[in-house]
Structure 1
């Protein structure tokens, strides 16, 4: 597996991406990306398919033989790479926004349920814990809205 890891690192460097950036594109944490590149772990198919969409030459990573399309990009010093990365950034941002909207909705519903439960509870300690949970849910919802706003500027 070490050959795959070395070639994966070469592809990441060719695309001028950090381990965390390629890991994010592939849907894994930075440490998992490092493990793939060191040969300590084998990447899953879903990861490989995601990074291929960002321009990684899977044929090269898996076999050591570059495809013609990848050679053209490699020789052209990143020619055509920006649209691929921008397209993937747009997809990831859209997915993040959908997930955050779902999270915000769930947090809103959770806050309402906690409030109803808190009103029905006579135990003061339980009320305090429920109020704390409600405040944290509201804080997470606010942070999610801010994240949507900030990431909207990326695309």
Structure 2
């Protein structure tokens, strides 16, 4: 399931319209629509604002509901740090974000690397690993 699909599902769970979720996240309805269509990916400011409205941001990022146990060994902070690193560093030579599919692959690959090595990686460690991947 894509990020946009999870975002639509979460919006529906909260009983909100696109306009209402856009306002909660501090964006325009068009941006909300583009997020849900997987045309654009929101930044961390948007996601942090959704937390205040009761959204399960962990589900949006990982596809797993908060509190569910599926055998994941990484702490939530590593997932959030990996998301932030991809959001910041997965860009082309002009500074534009890489296509969504490439960012998703980088995120998944980065998490796989981190899961195999260390569950206590810091944001700087994750940025360093991601920089090596996108260079």
Q: Normalization by structure 1: what TM-score?
A: 0.42
Higher relative helix content: 1
Q: Normalization by structure 2: what TM-score?
A: 0.48
